[in-house]
Amino acid sequence: MGCASVERFYAEISASTATLAGLIDGADLTQAVPTCPDWTLRQLATHVGRAHRWAGEIVATRSAEFIPFRAVPDGRLPDDPGRHVGWLHDGAERLISALRAAGTDPVWAFGQLRPASFWARRMTHETAVHRADAEIAAGRQPVIEASIAADGIDEWLGFEDLLNGGQDSRRDALGEGQVLHIHATDEGLGEAGEWLVRRDGDGIAVQHGHRQGDVAVRGPASALLLVLVRRLPADDAPVQIIGDRAVLDHWLAVTPF
């Protein structure tokens, strides 16, 4: 499961949802979200609330099949601004309740049956990154707790295999033999906070460890995650880049979130 426990995931889903709800409460929901091109705050909030209900429906029904995103009941942000906060909290609570009840029961997850707890992790990072989107739109500097951010990096680096069954569209993000070293400097993460990403034939291989790469990017796990998912430009983040900067720039250009 990575650097965080299932209970920690539940707590993060609740906390990130609460932050997002606070940011949209009374806000101008037509405001653009800079890190989600073409989205407004209303669309961002709707996406998060609907995603919680969608994953919660998959888990609650123990569905072995894909459920269309828009087919989930109550998937639209209410017109009444007074209901916005409650609607977001309700979606998160439904999801967490369904996850607690399901435990490790198998459910649909991107074309495979996986333990329901898969969705605890997936929705944690979905919510945390979109909470960061809302904070950036509000002019704040988002910070994701280190163990959650490190697990988010872990999930993000393995996400392509999850979606495409081993067909890695990132294969051109690194040249043959090139290595990207990602190093989270937060206390207590140890080897779980270091990743070696390299080109491996027709795909990308990722392992934990420490060795010199063509380029290394070092800093707090929160900043590293937000750089990797292109929420923060590397030059504006508290990270250190050592080695061939062009390798990192090319990786970021080829791996949008």
User: At 36, which CATH number?
Assistant: 1.20.120.450
* 70 found inside a domain: yes
Residue 190: other Cβ atoms inside 10 A: 12
**What average pLDDT score do residues 235-241 get?**
96
Question: Is pLDDT at 4 greater than 90 in this prediction?
Answer: no
What angle separates helix 118-137 from helix 221-228, to the nearest 10 degrees?
90
Task: Let me know whether 137 and 163 are in one domain.
Answer: no
Q: Who wins on pLDDT, 162 or 198?
A: 198
Average pLDDT along the chain: 93
Q: Do 223 and 168 share a structural domain?
A: yes
Q: Based on the domain organization, do 174 and 129 belong to the same domain?
A: no
The predicted pLDDT at position 1 comes to 46
Q: How confident is the model at residue 3 (pLDDT cuts 50, 70, 90)?
A: low
Q: Say yes or no: 110 and 52 in one domain.
A: yes
Q: What pTM, to 2 d.p., does this model score?
A: 0.93
Helices (H) and strands (E) in the chain, counts: 7, 7
What CATH code is carried by the domain that includes residue 168?
A: 3.30.1050.10
Token reading at 79: 């017109």
Specify the pLDDT at position 5.
Answer: 87
Q: Is residue 1 part of a domain?
A: no
Closest CA to 102 of 112, 110, 113, 91: 113
pLDDT digits (tens, 9 = 90+) for 74-105: 999 999 999 999 999 999 999 999 999 999 99
Max CA-CA distance within the chain? Answer: 55
Q: What phi and psi, each to the nearest 5 degrees, are found at residue 70? A: -85, -5
Instruction: Check residue 134 and give its pLDDT.
Output: 98
Whether 15 is in a domain gets the answer: yes
Q: Which range of residues forms the domain containing residue 163? A: 147-254
Mean pLDDT of 190-195: 92
Domain count, the chain: 2
SS3 state of residue 220? coil
